Copies of this chain bind each other. A is one copy, B any other.
Amino acid sequence: MKTTAQKKRQPRGEVTREKLVDAAYGEFCGRGYHGTSMRQIAARAGVAVGGIYNHFAGKEEVFAAVLDQYHPYHVLVPALGEAQGESLEEFVRHAAKLLEGALAEQGRSIMPIMFIELLEFQGQHLKDLAERIFPIFLTFLQGFAARSQTMRELPLPTVQRAFTSLMVGYFFTGYVLRDSPLVAAGPADQLPGVVDIFLHGILN
């Protein structure tokens, strides 16, 4: 949300564009890309159908704008880039904490857009994402390697795959079962315990 001051400074057209992106995001989350009509987006934004085309060339460009705003890149890069710590243990715990903080705020809103990407666009844009975050991910993994003197003798790719799988799986299962009683019964935040198991698994 923008402050009133920021809103006043924006040109009228920009406000409408923002409304359209927000409205489109909401509609896409409910029924996907193909299940959402331009009329539904227009109605939610309080704009006529034709008015959308003053800001976007077509439906796909609306999705591109939504994807740009709800892109995992904006969450993953700061979290992975700012991880610090003397020991490997501190480093991993800090990274997990940063990821959790960022994903608690924005992770749930990003997830549906990723599903649209994977399902309706065959993950085209995600291939780009993989290449864009690869340098940051490499830097992060160098942090692993630089602190590996306390680590068991393990193939680094395996350690990386295990850490990635654990984090992705933790947030994915949390999202899917977000209001299931089966998960709600357990402790709210099991991430520290889960990370502890991982650390015990790779350290001497």
Interface residues of A (CB under 8 A from B): 29-35, 112, 115-116, 118-120, 122-123, 126-127, 130-131, 134, 152, 154-155, 157-159, 161-162, 164-170, 172-173, 176-177, 180, 182, 186-187, 190, 193-194, 196-202
Across-interface contacts of A130 in B (CB, < 8 A)? 177, 180, 182
Across-interface contacts of A31 in B (CB, < 8 A)? 34, 120
Tallying the copies of this chain within the complex gives: 2
Between A115, A119, A187, the greatest number of chain B beta carbons within 10 A of the residue's beta carbon is seen for A119
A201 to chain B, nearest CB (A): 3
Among residues of B, the one whose C-beta sits closest to the C-beta of A122 is B30
Among residues of B, the one whose C-beta sits closest to the C-beta of A170 is B165
For the complex, what is the distance from the CA of A199 to the CA of B200, rounded to whole Å? 9
Among residues of B, the one whose C-beta sits closest to the C-beta of A168 is B169
Q: A32-B32, A162-B190, A197-B202 are in contact. List 5 more A-B contacts (CB 8 A).
A: A35-B120, A123-B176, A154-B193, A165-B165, A165-B194
Cβ contact within 8 Å between B119 and A158:
no
Cβ contact within 8 Å between A33 and B32:
yes
Across-interface contacts of A164 in B (CB, < 8 A)? 169, 173
Cβ contact within 8 Å between B127 and A180:
yes
Across-interface contacts of A123 in B (CB, < 8 A)? 176
Across-interface contacts of A35 in B (CB, < 8 A)? 32-35, 120
Interface residue from B152, B166, B172, B176 paired with A200 (Cβ < 8 Å): B152
Interface residue from B115, B167, B173 paired with A119 (Cβ < 8 Å): B115
Cβ contact within 8 Å between B161 and A194:
yes
Cβ contact within 8 Å between A194 and B118:
no
Cβ contact within 8 Å between A197 and B115:
no
Cβ contact within 8 Å between B134 and A182:
yes
For the complex, what is the distance from the CA of A194 to the CA of B120, rounded to whole Å? 31
For the complex, what is the distance from the CA of A98 to the CA of B170, rounded to whole Å? 21
Which 6 pairs between the two chains have the least Cβ-Cβ distance?
A169-B169, A201-B201, A34-B35, A165-B169, A158-B193, A197-B201
